[in-house]
Amino acid sequence: MKMMTTVLTQLLNSTIHSIKMVIPAGIQIGKPALYTANSLQSSLSVLIGMTGQVHGQLVIGGTASLFSQISQMMYGMMLEGEMLESFTCELGNMIAGQLVTHASSQQLTMDITPPTLLVGETSVKGFQKAILVPVSVEEKGTLNVIVTVHE
């Protein structure tokens, strides 16, 4: 169990590092909490699986408006509809890719799965341990970031 907690801490630190590297804004990290709920209250989320030495998931949820504002910060335009959904998946991909790169510097060999878009209230299941971290993006809104680890 201690090893699981250590791995989860490494993943969480890598996730926070990744978000700060990918999103060009003032980022405030909230207090991490054990995630025990069965649903994520977000209108738009992206789920990316983690494979290799560590099996788990990275889920990033927020409002469509927040993801649109992040797209404006990154690309100079607010997206909507299918373009916003595509951007949300790509943002998750960029964060997860950076996470895997950072985790490898901590001797964790991992890979990621293609992103899955989740629309509306979402259920996150099948994990042994999960941590929820609220990430405030430059007074524009809060992303709910969940890192899970499976056996």
40 band by pLDDT with thresholds 50, 70 and 90:
low
1 band by pLDDT with thresholds 50, 70 and 90:
very low
121 band by pLDDT with thresholds 50, 70 and 90:
confident
Low-confidence winner among 16-20, 65-69, 103-107 (lowest mean pLDDT): 103-107
CATH architecture of the domain with range 1-149: 3-Layer(aba) Sandwich (3.40)
- What 3-state class would DSSP assign to 99? helix
Question: What six digits make up the tokens of 123?
Answer: 């259920």
**Helices 64-75/81-104 angle, 10° precision:** 70
pLDDT > 70: percent of the chain: 90
At a CB cut-off of 8 Å and minimum separation 6, what does 83 contact?
none
Is the confidence at residue 117, as pLDDT, over 80?
Answer: yes
The model scores a pTM over 0.85: yes
Please report, as a single letter, which amino acid is at residue 4.
M
